[in-house]
Amino acid sequence: MPRAFDVTATTSSVQLDAAGHGEVSFTISNKLGMGVAVRATVAPEGNTRAEWMKFPDGMERTLPPDGTAVIPVRFSAPAGTPPGSYGFALMVASISNPDEHYARGPAVAFTVREAAGPVKKPFPWWLVALAAGVLLIVGVVVAILAGRGGGEAPGLGAACAQEAPRCGPKLSCGEGNVCVGEQGFLGCERSEQCATLRCEKGTCEEQLTLGDTCEGNDDCRLPLTCHQGFCLIPIGEKCTHPSQCVSGNCSGQQCRPEVSACPIRCPLGLLCIDGRCQRPRIQVDPRLLRELTPQRVTPAP
């Protein structure tokens, strides 16, 4: 079978910035000798997650005969990702004939490094005595307040107390011994301030599960992704029914690239099923729901 496409990357490895973000561009060359519409997807390698990758300019292109197109991919490793090597490749397939006209691009690697500790700044020696005096005063005040009891419990983002109550109302002690909001807590600004890992309009909300309607990836619990307005399973993850996958293809209990693409992009709220845009009936497997239920661990005092 003649080669359908050539896929090249601007680099084989990307250095993440201080925020853990990176970007690489892929060039797709049409070798079919005729015009074709293509769709790109990512193929994660190892422990890489598909939801880390985004297509800022879209994942579909129309190529003239012998034409080329560039598809940029942005990716980021979320906070808490274990240090190590990660990577992915770009899959390109004809929208009208993905089974015969497809190609896999070269692997692109990136490294997640361990977060650097704070840099200690030197200070004049005479400040040592001053710092010791301040610490002594603070210690006395803390001892007095602890002896009185009944003081206010730590608030959002504060270090957890050693004894109950470890955090204030509607708060619990989260990772790193920091107080985070429980479901229903009012006053969050970022998802990491919530035990549920979802801050919606200043309120800590429970993350959505398989089949729930969503507005963005932050609404869905990992490893789900928000696709066409539904929390679905990305390619490469475990599944039990095709309706659970973003591609509509569950084979060997794993979501795989779609095998029957729709001729047009489906409107929001519809999924491409058997080559037609349809309102989905997502099969929710109780066993998968149990696996997707977040297990929260309360740090020991």
Higher pLDDT, 19 or 6: 6
pLDDT in tens, 34-54: 999 999 999 999 999 999 999
DSSP characters over the chain: ----EEEEES-SEE---TTSEEEEEEEEEE-SSS-EEEEEEEEEETT--GGGEE-TT-SEEEE-TT-EEEEEEEEEPPTTPPSEEEEEEEEEEESS-TTTSEEE---EEEEEPPPPPPPPPP--THHHHHHHHHHHHHHHHHHHHHHH--PPPP-TTSBPPSSSS-S-TTEEE-GGGBEEEPTT-B---SGGGBTTS-EETTEE-PPB-TT-B-SSGGGBPTT-EEETTEEEBPTTSB-SSGGGBTTS-EETTEE---SS--SSPPPTT-EEETTEEE-------HHHHHHHS----PPP-
What pLDDT is attached to residue 202?
92
Span 270-291, mean pLDDT?
79
pTM for the full predicted model: 0.40
Name the band, by pLDDT with cuts 50, 70 and 90, for residue 98: very high
Judged by average pLDDT, the poorest of 127-131, 143-147, 225-229, 234-238 is 143-147
Which domains does the chain show, CATH number per domain?
5-112 (2.60.40.10), 155-206 (no CATH), 217-292 (no CATH)
> Would you say 254 and 244 are in contact if contact means Cβ atoms under 8 Å apart?
no
Closest listed residue to residue 53, CA positions, set 23, 94, 93: 23
Token pair 């808490």: residue: 80
User: Which pLDDT does position 140 carry in this prediction?
Assistant: 63
Q: pLDDT higher for 295 or 63?
A: 63
Q: Pick the more confident residue, 3 or 105.
A: 105
Give the per-residue pLDDT at 37: 96
As a whole number, mean pLDDT of residues 24-33 equals 94
145 confidence band (pLDDT: 50, 70, 90): low
Q: Would you state the pLDDT for residue 297? A: 47
Q: Measure the CA–CA gap between 170 and 174, rounded to whole angstroms.
A: 12
Instruction: Work out the pLDDT band at 288, boundaries 50, 70, 90.
Output: confident
- Give every CB contact of residue 17 below 8 A, 6+ residues apart in sequence: none
Write down the pLDDT at residue 25: 96
- Does 242 sit behind a cis peptide bond, omega within 30 degrees of 0 on the bond before it? no
Q: How far is residue 8's CA from residue 28's CA, in Å, rounded to a whole number?
A: 7
pLDDT per residue over 184-242, tens digit each?
Answer: 999 999 888 998 888 888 999 988 888 888 888 878 888 888 988 899 889 999 998 88
